[in-house]
Chains A and B, each alone.
Chain A
Amino acid sequence: MAQDDTNVIDQPEMTTPRMVTIEIAGKKVDVPEGITVVKAMWYAGMDVVRGVGCLGGFCGACATYYRTKDDPKVRTCLACQMAVQDGMSFTMMPPFPARKATYEIQKLKDPKQDLFNLYPEAPLCRNCNACTEACPQKIDVREGVWKAVFGDFKSVSEMFMDCVMCGMCTPVCIADIAPNLVALYVSRAQGAHFSEKPVGLDVRIKEIQDGQYNEEWDKVLKMSEKELAEHCATVK
């Protein structure tokens, strides 16, 4: 195999890994700098069952509070998406007992009004902005809650498309709102009640039900292996 030394990316941290001291749930441990928060827990010999999911930043299982050296500000992150640094201190967020309203989404008569029955606390936002600051996905959560209350469901559904349901906006809310759950309701209502019905989809479903493709299916499914391969080659 040809080796050309010019095409190697500098990663001094890989050749000489620097050990850093961090605190996991109050306990000091030494781990290699730059590994992710969840890998740091594994490195420290901890079994992690609750708190790990997709490991790709999408499932929200690994919601974590952290603080960097000498900074009083406690921040939030997803443990699979954050690198450790010297002096960092973190702990995983335990499952938070937020109340989720239950509803039959298709049977709602007036989804914008129903919001106030399902989540009566939603209009009580006191504008502290803690939810927005807590969001590891950088969603303007506070703005979203207000838009939901004012019935702008479309904007909410767009703003919360990035929401991984980690729930970190919830424990910080002084009005006991669970913004992620409010947004989930609003987004589903937007999809189920306020989006245009795609006409083309119904046409296609009817075509299939009416057997419009049966002749073509008969032709294709009766082909020999060779004929089928030849037919496939013509579809580009």
Chain B
Amino acid sequence: MDIHALQQIVHKTRDARRQQTISKFSPAERDQLIHKYHPDFRASAYRPIRFGPNEGDKTVVELATLLEGDSSIQDHADLTAHYTCDVLVIGGGGAGCAAALHAHGAGAKTILATKLRLGDSNSVMAQGGMQISVAPEDSPVTHFIDTLKGGHMENDHALLKTMVEDGPSIAKWLLELGVLFDRQADGNLHVKKGGGSSKPRLLTCSDYTGLEIMRVLKDEVINQKIQLLEFAAAIELLSDEVGNCTGAIFKDLDNQRHVVVAAKCVILATGGIGRLHIQGFPTSNHYGATGDGLCLSYRMGAKLAHIDTFQYHPSGAVYPEQLIGALVTEGIRSEGGHLVNAKGERFVNELDTRDVVSSSIIRECEEGRGIRTMSGRVGVWLDTPLLDAEHGPGTVEKHFPAMMLQFERFGIDISKDPVLIYPTLHYQNGGVKIDTNSETNVKNLFVAGEASGGLHGRNRLMGNSLLDLMVYGKRSGLTAAGRVGSMKQGQLTLKHLQRFRADAKTHGNVSGVISPMILPAYTRKVS
């Protein structure tokens, strides 16, 4: 059928739906729904990791294969350093920039290396906002409780307490750098309510929060003249005699040469794994989200946490074809947008946590109440015109300019017509286990941002990622910088890799897979 004919049911049922209140599920109902429909519970997609620090733990097959993968570096590779620094930051997104700025600010000689350009990351796409308890009726403790509930009570308490308490001072730092957070009439920060939160707590820069923060942080990294290595993909870490981290080897993607960097401390801020397309899901992630940091730190002996759980953002675009997997911001639901099935019915409280909402969408589709496309996809409607009906004409355009423009390019006016959505692979809830200084169990190896794990439990709340990046980027940068003054540069060896290879051999790992992946293989093989 013509898409406009299918959309009629959304228009027809709008007024009736506006009268309706849908209560949130009880804890028992939530658990039942998630266990039945959430992709984290699809047993066939998982297998145990065969060796290494997380031997026996289950994760998705795609990631397990890469974690067990071999390095492209030979045992006797030349390890003469091309660059030497105090703090080496790997990754140019939010966490990497925050780490580099703080390490540099504290006087450490800092290098920021990144696989693509400075700033190419998921951070730049964050639309929903950043959770910080600034409202008078809110508090860091309430932020803690909300996050804990969202994370199914499995969040690391110390990491979480640190994040919520550091939040307000992070907001101040960003404001001083010139980030333009939305304001109330009285000059105070405007806060919006996000899914799974009991109080309005989202700081926003219209629907460009991540872009605005990243424009400013990138500019500041350049202004501070921090040394950059762009198009440099980390392919192996370096360790000294006792296994402490001492640097990294990169592949220069312009000329394929290896570049060795000696560093007293290394901060990995390499982001998530969306581009592994686990379980065949489309993703909202950037081109370089291939989990490189997980593989590198795993070979160094760093323990991973919660790597069996991933976040599928409820609203990834399904139509048009060109936007598949792209995010339709949660902000639309925060402002009252309904999710509607093919029968014109709501089926979930739209502001429930992301895992619950995603599971309910998958349920509707699996039980035949979805809308299908001829490319074999299925989805439900997100009633965007409702926002104009509810808050006055022009609301969608004013509050969601990025979203409007993205769809307008393909001839779709989301203020007039609903959009078709289905969950998209969005975030890795777990990652490398860290302490409150962002350090791993490998000395002098820090991990910050999405690559780290423990903080978010089994489901990250909307808006907590941007804060995580800033808080742990800052902590890793400051801790590393505070340490390097009294340190000598350690030896550059591949002892950890020899150990890892011996371990792999014992377990008969001959998959031949080389990790990290660096970039997804999207180029069609033309014979």
Cα A109 to Cα B68 with chains together (Å): 55
Q: Please, what's the 1-or-0 string for A25-69, where 1 marks a CB less than 8 Å from any CB in chain B?
A: 000000000111001001111111110111111110100000000
B327 within 8 A of A: yes
> Within the complex, which residue of A10, A47, A100, A201 is in contact with B189, where a contact is CB–CB below 8 Å?
A201
> Within the complex, which residue of B140, B149, B319 is in contact with A232, where a contact is CB–CB below 8 Å?
B149
Return B482 CB to nearest CB of chain A, in Å: 20
- Taking CB atoms, residues of chain A closer than 8 Å to B175 are 191-192, 195, 197-198, 201
Tell whether, in the assembled complex, residue B368 and residue A3 are in contact, meaning their CB atoms are under 8 Å apart.
yes
Cα A189 to Cα B223 with chains together (Å): 14
Tell whether, in the assembled complex, residue A200 and residue B136 are in contact, meaning their CB atoms are under 8 Å apart.
yes
Cα A203 to Cα B372 with chains together (Å): 51
- Given the known A-B contacts A1-B368, A163-B215, A189-B178, are A201 and B524 also in contact in the complex, defined by CB atoms under 8 Å? no
Q: Please, what's the 1-or-0 string for A158-201, where 1 marks a CB less than 8 Å from any CB in chain B?
A: 00011111000000000000000000100111111001111111
User: Interface with B: A120-128, A143-151, A217-225, which one?
Assistant: A217-225
Tell whether, in the assembled complex, residue B189 and residue A220 are in contact, meaning their CB atoms are under 8 Å apart.
no
Question: Using a CB-CB cutoff of 8 Å, which residues 132-178 of chain B contact chain A?
Answer: 133-136, 139-142, 144-146, 148-149, 153, 157, 161, 165, 168-169, 171-172, 175-178
- Taking CB atoms, residues of chain B closer than 8 Å to A100 are 219, 222
Question: Using a CB-CB cutoff of 8 Å, which residues 214-236 of chain A contact chain B?
Answer: 216-217, 220-221, 225, 228-229, 231-233, 235-236
- Taking CB atoms, residues of chain B closer than 8 Å to A13 are 321
Shortest Cβ-Cβ A-B pairs, 4 listed: A2-B368, A188-B178, A196-B187, A191-B178
Other A-B contacts than A56-B284, A220-B144, 15 sampled, CB-CB below 8 A, are A7-B372, A8-B1, A8-B371, A10-B2, A39-B522, A44-B526, A46-B523, A157-B180, A201-B175, A202-B172, A205-B168, A208-B168, A213-B165, A217-B141, A235-B146
**Residues of A that sit less than 8 Å from B by CB:** 1-4, 6-15, 34-36, 39, 42-50, 52-59, 61, 81-83, 100, 102-106, 137-138, 157, 161-165, 184, 187-192, 195-205, 208, 213, 216-217, 220-221, 225, 228-229, 231-233, 235-236
**Residues of B that sit less than 8 Å from A by CB:** 1-3, 6, 27, 116-117, 119-122, 124-125, 133-136, 139-142, 144-146, 148-149, 153, 157, 161, 165, 168-169, 171-172, 175-180, 183, 187-189, 198, 205-206, 208, 210-212, 215-216, 218-220, 222-223, 225, 231, 253-254, 284, 286-287, 319, 321-322, 326-327, 342, 366-368, 370-375, 401-402, 405-406, 409-410, 420, 519, 522-526
Offer 25 A-B interface pairs, CB within 8 angstroms, sorted by A. A8-B373, A9-B372, A39-B522, A47-B523, A49-B253, A50-B254, A54-B124, A55-B286, A56-B327, A59-B117, A59-B124, A81-B406, A83-B322, A184-B215, A191-B175, A191-B179, A197-B175, A198-B183, A200-B188, A205-B168, A205-B169, A208-B140, A221-B157, A233-B27, A235-B142
